[in-house]
Amino acid sequence: MIASGTLFLYVASMAFALLYGGFRKNLLYYLCAGAMAAGFALQTAGLTVRWIESRIIPATNLPQILHATAWALVALYLLFGTALKNRIVVFFLMPLVVLSMLTAQLIPDLPKEPKPFFYTAWFVVHIALLTLGIGLFLYSFLYSSIFIMQDHSLRHRRQPLALGLPSLEESARWATRFLLLGFGVYTAGLFSSGLYGALEGKKDAWRPGMLEVAAVAAWLILGAAIYGWVTAKLNPRKRAWLVVAGAASTVLIILGILWH
């Protein structure tokens, strides 16, 4: 019920975001932001209830992780939305949120065999950092995609301002910020479970399975993008493509969770 209500509000927000992209009316943006905030409040309430009832942070299987990812994306927008200045980002963000939510609805939410690790604070930290990290990567992905679109328009002498996209410089700046922040948070998230194993003497806490391999693959691709950025060995367009590839590699993590 709560999930359906949240999905409805996010779909409404997406509809307003798409209309805003076309018509650029402030009212449409406010309606989009209002539906987004209402959906976020409902989703937060739902996740909290579920957490209290099961005593495990609701992010132990794929549908739950997807819900959490959608939550993180919206939370980050509500946090950074004003700083981002360019409102057109909702045009790209909301379809991603709805896609995440819809996929979560379509996959059966099968309860997982609870492990002792799930009840520890380490697990909460682990999940929170990974989810936040993935959310930040997705923002970096959005801004890199915007960069590539803008770059493409400029190269092909099209009207780059038709959609009112941010400038290349602005897109690159935000893509980098989200990438660096996401990389740090995500790395901390990856290490937190290993750290738990080491501190608690549980050697099997970090076994290299499909999920772990996928997580590390995404980490390496995004690390390469950062390397290219720092050393300026890659031009901004190639860096943007690498970030897009890195963010796309988070799909591997999702597949890894499915097969985990």
Select from 145, 135, 43, 155 the least CA-distant residue to 88.
145
In the list 22, 112, 155, 199, the residue contacting another protein (rule: CB under 8 A) is: 155
CA distances to 54, 61, 122, 219 from 205, in Å: 21, 17, 11, 19
Considering the rule CB under 8 A, would residue 154 count as an interface residue with another protein?
Answer: yes
Considering the rule CB under 8 A, would residue 173 count as an interface residue with another protein?
Answer: yes
Considering the rule CB under 8 A, would residue 202 count as an interface residue with another protein?
Answer: no
CA dihedral 244, 78, 108, 92 (to 10 degrees): -40
The residue written with tokens 């360019």 in the block is 86
Considering the rule CB under 8 A, would residue 160 count as an interface residue with another protein?
Answer: yes
In the list 30, 45, 167, 259, the residue contacting another protein (rule: CB under 8 A) is: 167
Contacting residues for 81 by C-beta, under 8 A, at least 6 apart: 33
- Report the residue number, 227 or 259, with the smaller CB distance to another protein: 227
- Report the residue number, 63 or 160, with the smaller CB distance to another protein: 160
CA distances to 7, 14, 83, 165, 168 from 31, in Å: 16, 10, 19, 20, 28
Considering the rule CB under 8 A, would residue 150 count as an interface residue with another protein?
Answer: yes
For another protein, the binding residues in 229-258 under the rule CB under 8 A are: 232, 234-238
Considering the rule CB under 8 A, would residue 161 count as an interface residue with another protein?
Answer: yes
Q: With contacts defined by CB under 8 A, how many residues of the chain interact with another protein?
A: 22
166 vs 153: CA distance, rounded Å: 13
What DSSP designation does 249 have? T
- Report the residue number, 67 or 239, with the smaller CB distance to another protein: 239
Considering the rule CB under 8 A, would residue 182 count as an interface residue with another protein?
Answer: no
Q: Which residues bind another protein (CB under 8 A)?
A: 24, 150, 153-155, 157, 159-161, 165-170, 173, 232, 234-238
